[in-house]
Structure 1
């Protein structure tokens, strides 16, 4: 409990300082920066409960559900085509990038691919743990560095496209607390049924469904959204551990290069989306960026980008990777693993 309180205090200090400096999404970036920095100087115990992050994600899910534009689905066909093509480009670019960096860093191609593909951090690591011949420490480092760089760099890239958002004075209400408890329970049930990113998707689905009911939903106050940013930012800040810097220098450099490469690739695809679909640059870039779903949506909310578009594009990318890319990789690795012993047997037979 003391470790959690220390992290909370660091997060509040970081968020407050970043808000004074007028940095984008200060209550997420501030905690990330302050907690990462503290870990390199403070040797005591720092901890954070995953449940606290889930609380923040559920709050973000409720806010998205309340702002979701259902008219977006009128152009589902063209959106699906663009999302499919963009993800093919992203995955192909990730594999090509992994191939080049694997040669340079001398990390196995298999580990490099798993470190470079911009899927969900937890799901990628679970997949990697099932594979015996990968460098799990390097994969963890690559995925965390990508997430951190995207979360830190992209707000400054789109900062020039920010539309000032007036701070509405929305009070906390019992109906919002009830909505949160209902969303939490719905998310828990969805998680039991193996719904991907359940604590994010389930509240969105629930709140969109409740919009058709004959009563008004309580809006999420700005102070509560800042709290959600802090809960998520504290979790991200604790991901990068000082011991990860002890990896070989080539691995450390390759992790940064792969992340920068993905940001450049998605910057290019976002220009295509902005031009062809007539979305703002901020909306297009946040829709295609290889970051975490909740972080990109939080940023979209902060700068008045189209939350519905960003959510749909980011959710599609995650589902595309979970449902198609990861099973394809699994099948490929199983096929090559079966083929390798056969080739060894043939070599032995030839030599004999």
Structure 2
């Protein structure tokens, strides 16, 4: 019965996504599946048949699409952009930490909760740290991080589309479609990507389901001349899987919200997005990149959602993914340990103060 219900959900998501595409909606396959899932959940209750691997499959496909954009030419171009990647990432993270103080006043939460709730792009790591930090509100951290994903999916496409000069969709002249160049030796790609996922999970790398296929395709492009792009149908399918996953997450959290929490999270996340826009406007004065590419590179959301927006708005996927991948690694390898040290010192100081009194 649960798989029959899941089938109905997929059908509803497909139909609504197709209708939204026909009327010219931005990101119709992502929004359509999200909206259909929320409505379906409210009417029929939890959809237990949707497994984690289904959402991961959508992320895997997005990872492949990212990899196809990394050719020898784009990699050489990005070497000249390293300084901008580092500086822009640092500015967005600094903005997040400044807003953490404001968020603390809005919600009345602890400093630990505010910091862990505000850092963008490392949801899993921040939630793990919130679980380990006794003074952190796990519910607030989780809901704030999750709500940012929702707001990014809602607002960023509209902002990006206003400044996009390229037609939506995957460029047809960039490379031949995958199905037109499919060859037996490409099985090496699939095997290599799957093997790399297990290796990266063992080494605790961030987002292995997306980064592993990206690295596999990138290596293929740099070592062979058989470049290709994904058929647009694959991206539609990935967006449906991803949209259902986000829709289920939204549906499961709605009943746990209160008015103050909703208003505070909305203000904080909107300010983060608007602040990012201001940073990008300043950056444009000193770089040759256009607003859409830079804004999507800096946008405080998950790489999966941002790449889908980039595909739909005809943006520079290779550039945008490189910015986000750097920020993910920087947050996980530098920012998260530093925050952990700061929180540990705070715990030690409170313990010492308590002993003195």
Same fold? TM cut 0.5: yes
Closer, same or farther in 2 for the Cα pair 1:91/1:171, shift >3 Å?
closer
Q: Which whole-Å deviations, capped at 9, do the CAs of 1:58-108 have from their partners, x for residues lacking one?
A: 222222222214444446566332222222222222122121121122122
2:171 pairs with 1:163: no
| Runs of at least 4 residues off by over 6 Å | none
Closer, same or farther in 2 for the Cα pair 1:216/1:92, shift >3 Å?
closer
Q: 1:194 aligns with which of 204, 219, 224?
A: 204
Cα separation, 1, equivalents of 2:12 and 2:354? 55
Cα separation, 1, equivalents of 2:50 and 2:118? 26
Cα separation, 1, equivalents of 2:294 and 2:104? 30
Q: 8 Å contact 2:30–2:243 — kept in the other structure?
A: yes
Q: 2:83 aligns with which of 68, 81, 84?
A: 81
Match of 1:305 in 2: 315
Q: Which whole-Å deviations, capped at 9, do the CAs of 1:32-82 have from their partners, x for residues lacking one?
A: 122123333433545522211221222222222222144444465663322
Q: Please report how far the alpha carbon of residue 11 of structure 1 lies from its aligned counterpart in structure 2 after TM superposition.
A: 2.4
Q: 8 Å contact 2:273–2:299 — kept in the other structure?
A: yes
2:171 pairs with 1:148: no
Q: Please report how far the alpha carbon of residue 222 of structure 1 lies from its aligned counterpart in structure 2 after TM superposition.
A: 1.0
Q: Which whole-Å deviations, capped at 9, do the CAs of 1:143-198 have from their partners, x for residues lacking one?
A: 11111111111111122315225785947365387344542333233222322211
Q: Please report how far the alpha carbon of residue 244 of structure 1 lies from its aligned counterpart in structure 2 after TM superposition.
A: 3.8
Q: 8 Å contact 2:71–2:222 — kept in the other structure?
A: no
Cα separation, 2, equivalents of 1:215 and 1:131? 50
Q: 8 Å contact 1:188–1:199 — kept in the other structure?
A: no
Q: 2:257 aligns with which of 240, 243, 247?
A: 247
Q: What is the TM-score of this pair, normalised by structure 1?
A: 0.89
Q: Please report how far the alpha carbon of residue 243 of structure 1 lies from its aligned counterpart in structure 2 after TM superposition.
A: 4.8
Cα separation, 2, equivalents of 1:29 and 1:291? 16
Q: 8 Å contact 1:14–1:34 — kept in the other structure?
A: yes
Number of equivalences: 347
Match of 2:93 in 1: 91
Structure 1: tracts of 5 or more residues without a match:
348-352
Q: What is the TM-score of this pair, normalised by structure 2?
A: 0.88
Match of 2:296 in 1: 286
Closer, same or farther in 2 for the Cα pair 1:309/1:214, shift >3 Å?
closer
Q: 1:210 aligns with which of 205, 220, 234?
A: 220
Match of 1:16 in 2: 18
Match of 1:110 in 2: 112
